[in-house]
């Protein structure tokens, strides 16, 4: 098992405003610079909604907090009203983009093949694709977790992915925004399976970071982040408060 530096990514989802982004990022910067983040040794990433990316990239200047988006188009450019290309995200200062989040798979019917096409476009534009996978409540109850995750991994990760352009996030759908989390043992089993698939199918797959997401908060972060093959967190609700987000980062050890 390769020891990797943790990545703590904040998925703001459809929350915030320009003034909220300014205040939250200012607080993150101050806390990180002053060491008030509890000696954060993880890499930090914030992913605001599209309209605030350009502002956020300015607010983030002078910090080493990275910027990401929450989706991109599979096409490079052209007649695709309402879509945003990966090159545009790069142009706005993004280094990462979240793809295939369960909310997009559900709300927009995104298939794993579409997620793979988006990830390929993102990587082609020089972005790191954060590809999300995870089972629903009923799939879990049916004992299908590993089968579902395997299928999503195999079909959502494009050929040409490497350690340098891919991050995977395991987010059980039933744990998102519910306050429920899997046991450390369950997380370990899924992450071990994902690692096996990455080692078999991706160049440098042993060093691709695998994040856990779903109701991560400061009070449970230490336990979740200590699970073998958990290399960071994809945080929703708790990423909207600087103290909570940094509390999670500090728990990475």
Ligand X SMILES: O=C(CO)COP(=O)(O)O
Only one of the segments 29-37, 52-60, 182-190, 212-220 lies at the binding site for ligand X (rule: CB under 6 A); that segment is 212-220
Q: Measured at CB, which residue is nearest to ligand X?
A: 236
Specify whether the CB–CB gap between 181 and 142 falls below 8 A: no
> Which of helix, strand or coil describes residue 215?
coil
The reply to whether 216 sits near ligand X by the rule CB under 6 A is yes
- Enumerate residues 39-98 that contact ligand X by CB under 6 A: none
253 annotated among ligand-binding-site residues: no
Beta-bridge mates of residue 168: 131, 210
Helix (H) or strand (E) holding 129: strand 128-133
The reply to whether 236 sits near ligand X by the rule CB under 6 A is yes
215 annotated among ligand-binding-site residues: yes
Interacting residues of 239 by C-beta distance below 8 A, sequence separation 6+:
9, 10, 11, 12, 46, 245
Give the max Cα distance, the chain. 49
Only one of the segments 50-58, 82-90, 139-147, 171-179 lies at the binding site for ligand X (rule: CB under 6 A); that segment is 171-179
Active-site residue, selected from the candidate residues 101, 103, 135, 229: 101
The reply to whether 11 sits near ligand X by the rule CB under 6 A is yes
- Enumerate residues 99-138 that contact ligand X by CB under 6 A: 101
Does 191 participate in catalysis according to the annotation? no
The reply to whether 190 sits near ligand X by the rule CB under 6 A is no
The reply to whether 237 sits near ligand X by the rule CB under 6 A is yes
Among 176, 246, 249, 251, binds ligand X (CB under 6 A): 176
12 annotated among ligand-binding-site residues: yes
- HEC assignment per residue over 78-124: CCCCCCCCHHHHHHCCCCEEEECCHHHHHHCCCCHHHHHHHHHHHHH
Tokens of 171: 């987010």
Does 101 participate in catalysis according to the annotation? yes
Report the interhelical angle of 218-225 vs 184-201 (nearest 10°).
Answer: 50
Helix (H) or strand (E) holding 167: strand 166-170
Only one of the segments 140-148, 156-164, 196-204, 213-221 lies at the binding site for ligand X (rule: CB under 6 A); that segment is 213-221
Kindly state the smallest distance separating residue 217's Cβ from ligand X, in Å. Answer: 8
Among 74, 100, 172, 214, binds ligand X (CB under 6 A): 214
Tokens of 39: 């000696």
Among 177, 201, 228, 253, binds ligand X (CB under 6 A): 177
| Residues within the interface to ligand X (CB under 6 A) | 11, 101, 171, 176-177, 213-216, 234-238
Q: Which residues are catalytic?
A: 101, 171
């Amino acid at each position: 098992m390769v020891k990797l530096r943790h990545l703590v990514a904040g998925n703001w989802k459809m929350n915030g405003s320009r003034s909220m982004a300014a205040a939250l990022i200012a607080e993150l910067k101050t806390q990180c610079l002053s060491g008030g983040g509890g000696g954060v040794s993880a890499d930090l990433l914030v992913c605001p909604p599209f309209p605030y990316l350009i502002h956020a990239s300015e607010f983030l200047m002078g910090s080493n907090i990275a910027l990401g988006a929450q989706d991109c188009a599979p096409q490079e450019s052209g007649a695709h009203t309402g879509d945003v290309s990966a090159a545009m995200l790069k142009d706005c200062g993004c280094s990462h983009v979240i793809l295939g989040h369960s909310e997009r798979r559900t709300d927009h019917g995104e298939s794993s093949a579409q997620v793979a096409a988006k990830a390929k476009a993102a990587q082609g534009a020089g972005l790191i694709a954060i590809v999300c996978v995870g089972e629903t409540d009923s799939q879990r109850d049916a004992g299908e977790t590993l089968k579902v995750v395997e299928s999503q991994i195999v079909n959502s990760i494009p050929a040409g992915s490497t350690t340098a352009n891919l991050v995977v996030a395991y987010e059980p759908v039933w744990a998102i925004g519910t306050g429920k989390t899997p046991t450390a043992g369950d997380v370990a089993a899924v992450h071990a399976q994902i690692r096996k698939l990455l080692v078999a199918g991706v160049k440098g797959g042993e060093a691709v970071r695998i994040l856990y997401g779903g109701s991560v908060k400061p009070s449970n972060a230490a336990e979740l982040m200590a699970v073998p093959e958990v290399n960071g967190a994809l945080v929703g609700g708790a990423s909207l408060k600087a103290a909570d987000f940094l509390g999670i980062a500090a728990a990475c050890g």
